[in-house]
Structures are given as C-alpha cells and as structure tokens.
Structure 1
Amino acid sequence: MQKLLLLLLSLVLLGPLGIDLYLPVIPFIAKGLGSPEALIQSTIPLFILVMGVGQLLTGPMVDYFGRRPMALAGVALYGIGAVMAALAQQPAIFIASRILQGLAVCCTTVALFSCVRDRLNGDDAARAFSFLNGTLNIVPALAPLAGGLLAEGFGWRAPFWALSAYSLTVLILIARGLPETRPAQTLRRLGLPVKAYLAILRQRRFLVYSLVNTGAMAMALTYVSLSSQVLMGVAQLTPLQFSVAFGANGFWIMLVSVIANRVIRKAGRPACLTIGALLMALGGLLLLTSVAWSPPGWQTHWLSYMLPVAVACSGLAFLMGPSASYALEPYPNQAGVAAALNGFVQMAGAAAVSLAFIALPLSPRLALTLVMLLGAVFAGVARRYTRRLSGTLTSLPR
C-alpha cells in the first residue's frame, strides 16, 4: 500500500505544481507575452475552475476505462500543456495551455481518489487522504522559491520546462508501477451520467461533507490569490521574502497533517472535524481582529496576515481527509463518478466562492476573513451531522 500511495502522491502534486511554480513570475510572463498582468493572474482561478468542471466528464471515464489508463492520459496531456506554455508567444496560447493542464489534472485527480476508495475505507481512507493532502503542501512550501530561481536564471519559460520534465518522469513511474485498482463490480457506462450525479446530489451526506472541502479549498484559494497583494503590496515584502513566508506556511500544513493523521488513528474522524472547525473559526476571528481592532502598524505587518492564515490552514489539514472519506464512502461501485462530483463541488465551488468574495468591495484581509468563517460554518454543520451517521452503501442509477 505504501508504494501505491507514493505513486498517487506523484499524481496529486501535478495540481499545486501547475499553480505555485509560476506564482512569483506572473509579472514576467505578462511582460514577456505583452499581456496585462491581471489576465495572467486570472489563469489561477481559471485552472481551478477547469479542474472542477472537467471532473464531471472524467469521472465516468475513470470508471469505464479504468484508473491506470486515465492517469496515464492525464499525465501525458499535462506534459503537452507545459510545453505549450513554455513555447507560448501569445497570451491566448498561454491561456489554452492552462486549460489543457487543468483538464489533465481532472483525469489524474479522479483516478487517484478512486484508487484510494478502491483499496481503503473508513479511517484508513481518511488517513490516506490526509497524507496526500498534507504532503502536497511541500509544493507551496518550495515551488514559488524554485520557480523564482528558475526564472531568474533561465527566464520565465524555465518553470514550464521543469513541469514538462516532471510530467515525463511521472509518466514513466505510473506506466511501470501503478496497478489497475478498479473493482470488478464497477458500473461501467460511457457518457455523462446525469441521473447518477443527480442521485448523489440528493444525498444530504454527500453534500454536507463535500461542502466542507469546498469551504477549506475556498479559503486556501482566496489566500493564494490575495497573498502577493497583501504581502508584497501592503506589507512590502520582497519576492524572496514572500516566497519564504509562503513556503513556511506550506511546511506548517505538512506538520499539522502528520498530527491530524495521528488524531484520526487515535480519536477518529469526528474529532478531526471538531478540531478543524474550531481552528478555521479561530483563524477567521484572529484575522478580523487584526483588521478591525489592531494598531495601524500591526495591520500592515506581514505576520498580522500570516499568523491567522497558519491557524486556518491547520483547520484545513484536519478537515480535508475525513470529509472526503465520509463523502465517498457510500459509493464503492461508482467511485469514479462519486469522486468526480466531489471534485467538482470542491474545486468549482471553491473557485466560485473565492472569486465572489474577492469581487466584493472589501479589503483583501476582510474578504479572506469571511471565507474562513464560512468554511468554519460548513465544518461545524458537518460535525453535527456526523452524530446521525450509520454505515450505508448507496446504489446509483445505471
């Protein structure tokens, strides 16, 4: 099982690498392509939105063709998209490359979530999801700094050549080592399973726990989208200082994820939901305090932003694994469809929430505060709902 998790980890890193590696070089990309910086910045939520919507299409394909073929196809498309970005001479080609990579990550994400659901259940699945979600935080810890250094030495195209090299490496690893985990009883039907999606969406359990991940992901996406504006614009950090602060938070989430895994093992998933909800709420209240009641000097200090973010991200580490396992647990025969819909609700919902709050006429920190508090509400509702759960398997329409 350890070998399988390491292979799945190589897949789960594709998503955050596709965002975080080029964060520090967005101004240089815009200059190199003769494009407004806002247009290049918008490719971040666009990437997330494509990841969410595209999973509705790739979910049934993962059940029909199998986990392994879809993972291979996704990694190959990801590499093609990276080469397109590296060679782009116009903004339209660059945007198209981001869309292609977003679609590629749809394939790999649904495949890896389905693999976990195929092999594990209950607390074991929650620990696997927590491990994958926690370990991938090494990307925001190191990728911005690595992307900045690559761009400084070789130009803004270098991070995308690095992504193409990484995708080639992963393609070889997956081709050689990833087994097919699809159960024999999996319901296989090619096409958009509208009835199955609607049947899942009518299940209160699925919605409750998928919205937990939506709130947590919206918090993370809002933080990432606003971080350069707050840390470099307001707090006046240099790009290197920004990368260090951003990276330190990634390592912090990794550490908390290890703790969360132990809490799942010792106390179970409900305890993790309780801790996660409280930490998310505390992060929001701390950020609100720094906005509304702290001295002006503290309001512009980078720690007034990063300390509440670190607390809320701790909540994220406790929430993601248990909520994903609770949402997918009743669907062993259509894990791909269920994982796809969970990914759609999480990614597309998070992008919508994040873009909506960013668009409000609020300061960046106040917008993030509201998203944190919304995430805490979703987690609190899920924890309350957990008390009425009983083990069930759900039959979906064919």
Structure 2
Amino acid sequence: MQKFTLLLLSLVLLAPLGIDLYLPTLPDIAVGLNTPVANIQTTIPLFLLVMGLGQIVAGPLVDNLGRKPIAIIGLLLYVAGSVLGATADVWLQFLAARIIQGCAVCCTAVVAFSGVRDRLNGDDAARAYGFLNGALNIVPALAPLLGGLLAEAFNWRAPFWFLTLYALFIGLLVVFFLPETRPADTQKVKGLPLRQYWQILRQPRFLAFAFANAGALGMVLTYVSLAPNVLMTEGRLSALQFSIAFGANGFWIMLVSVLVNKVIRKLGRPICLAIGALAMTTGAVMLTAGMWLLPDAWQTHWALYMLPVAVSVAGLAFTVGPATSYALEPYQQQAGVASALAGFIQMAGGSSAGLLMMALPLAEKSALALMMVAGALLAFIAWRFSKTVRGTLTAL
C-alpha cells in the first residue's frame, strides 16, 4: 500500500510543481517574453482555474474509463504543455502552455484522490489524505529553490524542461506499476453527470466544506501570485533570498500539519476548522496593522508580508484536511464525481477569488488581507456545519 500511496503522491505533485518551480523566474520570464510581469502573475491562478474547470470533465471520465487511462492522458498533456512552455518565445505561446498544463493536472489530481477513496476507508483514508497534504508542503519549501538554481545555472526555461522529464518518468511508473482501482460497482454516467452534480450541490454540508477549501486556497494563491513582486521587486530580495523565504514558509506549514493531526486526535475536526478561521483572521489583522501603524520606511521589509502570511497559512493547514474529509465522506460510490466537484469548487473558486483580488484597485497587501478575511469567514461557516455532523476521525 505504501508504493500505491507514493504513486498517487507523484501524480498530485504535478500541480504544485507547475506553480512553485517557476516562481523565482517570473521577472525573467516577463523580460524574456517582452511582456509585463502582471501577465506572468496571472498564469498562476489561471492554471488552477483551468484545473478546477477540467475536473468537471475528468471526474466522470475516471469513473467511466478507469483511473489509469486518465492518469496516462494527463501525463501526456503535461509533457506537451511543459515542452511548449520551455520553447515559448511569445506571451500567447506561454499562456497556451499553462492552460494545457492545467488541463493535465485536473486529470492526475482526480485520479489520485479517487484512488485513495477506492482503496482506503476510515482512519486509513484519513492518514493517506494527511500524508498527501503533508507531503505537498515539501514542494513550496523546496521547488522555488530548485527552480531558482536551475534558472541561475541555465535560464528561465530550465524549470519547464525539468517538468517535462519529471512527467515522462512518472508516466513510466504509472504504465508499469499503477493498478486500476475503479470499483466494480462504480456508477457510470453518459456525458457530463449533471444530475449527479446537482444532487451533490444541493447538499449544504458539501458546499460549506468545499467553499471553505476554496477560501483557503484563494488566500494562498493571492499570496503566491503577489509574493514575487512584493518581495523581489519592492522588497529587493534576490531570487535565492526569495526562495529561502518562500521555502521556510513551506516547512512551517509542514510543522503545523503535524500539529493538526494531534489536535484532531485530542479535540476533533471541528476545533481545527475554528482554529483555521481564527488564524486567517489574525493574519489579516497583522497585515493591515503593519500597513497602517508602521513607518513608510518599513513597508518594503519582507517580514511585514511574510509574518502575517505565516499565521494565515497555518489556518490553511487546519482547514483543508478536515474540510476535505467532511465533504467526501458520504460519496463512496461516486468518488470520482464527488472528488471532481470538490476539486472544481476549490480550484475554480479559489483561483477566481485570487484573480478578483488582484484585479481590484487595491494595494497588493490590502488585496491579500481582504482575501484572508474571506477565507476566515468561509472556514467559520464550515465550522458551524461541522457541529451538526455525526462521526469522528482520529487522524487526518
């Protein structure tokens, strides 16, 4: 089972690698493609928006055709998008590359989370989700540093060639070692399962927890999208310093994730959701207070951005695992459809919120603070719903 979980993890990693690996190179990409850096920034939430929308289609496909074929299709698309990004010489080609990569990861993400639901139940499933979510935090910690080193040794195109090789390698592992896990009694659908989607969307419980994830993701996407400009352009950090600051935050989330498991065992998932809402609220207060109360000369210091972010992303760690488990628990025979719909709301909702915050005529820190407040409110609503759910989990 360990090998199976590691294979699923390798598929899940395609999404964060597609975001975090090229973060330190955003200014260089803008120069290389002769386009404003704002255009490159928007490819981050756009990537996840496509990923979210694509899951609406990928969910029925993994239930109808099986997990393994869709995983292979996703990996082939990822290779194509990575090669297109690595060879881009104009903005539109780079944009197309990111859209293709987004289509690819919607397939691999649905396969991974459906696979967990296929093979594992109860505490075993909770531990697997916890492992996947915890391991994902390694990527924000290490990928920017790797991307910065690759770009420094070669150029900004090197991270995309790395993604190409990674996807090819994982493709070989999937072809030879990933078993087909689709249950025999899986409910198949013709075309888009609009009726099934509608039945799930009518459940307030599902919506409350899915939108809590969307709010937390929107907060992180806003932070990630704005961080290169805030820290490197305004804060004058080098690419290496940016990678270290960004990576330290990833390791911080890993530590908080360990704490989340302990809190679940001792106090339960509702407490985690309440802590998540409180942490995001605190981060918004810290960020706003720093802008209003501290001297202008301090405003470009990295700590005024990263410390409130560290508090707020702790809220993400407390929110996402419990909310995901609450949302998917009732849908054993509709794992692909339910996972796809939850992923769609999380990715499309979070990325749309991030794009909206960046489009508003607000200072970058003000936009992030507003998104933190929205995430906190959605986590609070999920906490209220969790008080009415029966059943417990001892670990996540």
- TM-score calculated relative to the size of structure 1: 0.94
Q: Which stretch shifts more, 215-224 or 365-374?
A: 365-374
Tell me the residue number matched to 1:337.
Answer: 337
What one-letter code is carried by the residue in structure 2 that aligns with 1:281?
A: T
- Structure 1 residues 40, 235: CA separation in 2 closer, same or farther (over 3 Å shift)? closer
Cα distance in 2 between the residues matched to 1:308 and 1:152: 30
Tell me the residue number matched to 1:327.
Answer: 327
Q: Residue 388 of structure 1: SS of its match in structure 2? A: coil
Q: Tell me, yes or no, if the aligned pair for 2:42 and 2:355 is still in contact at 8 Å.
A: no
What one-letter code is carried by the residue in structure 1 that aligns with 2:241?
A: Q
What one-letter code is carried by the residue in structure 2 that aligns with 1:341?
A: L
Listed as ranges, the matches of 1:1-398 within 5 Å are: 1-390=1-390
Cα distance in 2 between the residues matched to 1:45 and 1:279: 23
Q: Tell me, yes or no, if the aligned pair for 1:122 and 1:326 is still in contact at 8 Å.
A: no
- Structure 1 residues 83, 304: CA separation in 2 closer, same or farther (over 3 Å shift)? same
What one-letter code is carried by the residue in structure 1 that aligns with 2:107?
A: C
Cα distance in 1 between the residues matched to 2:386 and 2:229: 38
- Structure 1 residues 363, 33: CA separation in 2 closer, same or farther (over 3 Å shift)? closer
Q: Tell me, yes or no, if the aligned pair for 1:127 and 1:321 is still in contact at 8 Å.
A: no
Cα distance in 2 between the residues matched to 1:210 and 1:108: 19
- Structure 1 residues 293, 30: CA separation in 2 closer, same or farther (over 3 Å shift)? closer
Number of residue pairs aligned between Structure 1 and Structure 2: 391
Report Cα offsets for 1:154-211 as digits up to 9, x if no partner.
Answer: 1222111110111111112222322222222110124111111111111101100001
- TM-score calculated relative to the size of structure 2: 0.94
Q: Tell me, yes or no, if the aligned pair for 2:22 and 2:159 is still in contact at 8 Å.
A: yes
Which ranges in structure 1 are unaligned for 5 or more consecutive residues?
392-398
Deviation of the 1:78 alpha carbon: 0.7
Cα distance in 1 between the residues matched to 2:182 and 2:122: 18
Deviation of the 1:124 alpha carbon: 4.1
Cα distance in 2 between the residues matched to 1:71 and 1:157: 25
Report Cα offsets for 1:220-263 as digits up to 9, x if no partner.
Answer: 00000111122123322222211111111011111211221233
Q: Which stretch shifts more, 24-33 or 308-317?
A: 24-33
Deviation of the 1:122 alpha carbon: 4.4
- Structure 1 residues 230, 26: CA separation in 2 closer, same or farther (over 3 Å shift)? closer
What one-letter code is carried by the residue in structure 1 that aligns with 2:37?
A: E
Cα distance in 2 between the residues matched to 1:274 and 1:124: 24
Cα distance in 2 between the residues matched to 1:2 and 1:264: 23
Cα distance in 2 between the residues matched to 1:266 and 1:3: 30
Which ranges in structure 2 are unaligned for 5 or more consecutive residues?
392-396
Q: Tell me, yes or no, if the aligned pair for 1:235 and 1:301 is still in contact at 8 Å.
A: yes
Cα distance in 1 between the residues matched to 2:387 and 2:121: 19
Cα distance in 2 between the residues matched to 1:124 and 1:208: 24
Report Cα offsets for 1:67-123 as digits up to 9, x if no partner.
Answer: 122112211211121112222233322221111110000000111111122233445
Report Cα offsets for 1:351-375 as digits up to 9, x if no partner.
Answer: 1111112222221111111111111
Q: Tell me, yes or no, if the aligned pair for 1:67 and 1:181 is still in contact at 8 Å.
A: yes
Q: Tell me, yes or no, if the aligned pair for 1:83 and 1:164 is still in contact at 8 Å.
A: yes
Cα distance in 2 between the residues matched to 1:177 and 1:261: 30
Report Cα offsets for 1:278-304 as digits up to 9, x if no partner.
Answer: 222221222122122234344332111
Q: Residue 334 of structure 1: SS of its match in structure 2? A: helix
Cα distance in 2 between the residues matched to 1:235 and 1:151: 21
Q: Tell me, yes or no, if the aligned pair for 1:123 and 1:265 is still in contact at 8 Å.
A: no
What one-letter code is carried by the residue in structure 2 that aligns with 1:17?
A: L
Cα distance in 2 between the residues matched to 1:38 and 1:74: 28
- Structure 1 residues 130, 290: CA separation in 2 closer, same or farther (over 3 Å shift)? farther
- Structure 1 residues 251, 53: CA separation in 2 closer, same or farther (over 3 Å shift)? same
What one-letter code is carried by the residue in structure 1 that aligns with 2:360?
A: L
What one-letter code is carried by the residue in structure 1 that aligns with 2:62?
A: V
Deviation of the 1:317 alpha carbon: 0.9
What one-letter code is carried by the residue in structure 1 that aligns with 2:342?
A: N
What one-letter code is carried by the residue in structure 1 that aligns with 2:141?
A: A
What one-letter code is carried by the residue in structure 1 that aligns with 2:387?
A: R
Q: Which stretch shifts more, 285-294 or 116-125?
A: 116-125
Q: Residue 332 of structure 2: SS of its match in structure 1? A: coil
Tell me the residue number matched to 2:394.
Answer: none
Q: Tell me, yes or no, if the aligned pair for 2:42 and 2:225 is still in contact at 8 Å.
A: no
Cα distance in 2 between the residues matched to 1:201 and 1:299: 43
Tell me the residue number matched to 1:394.
Answer: none
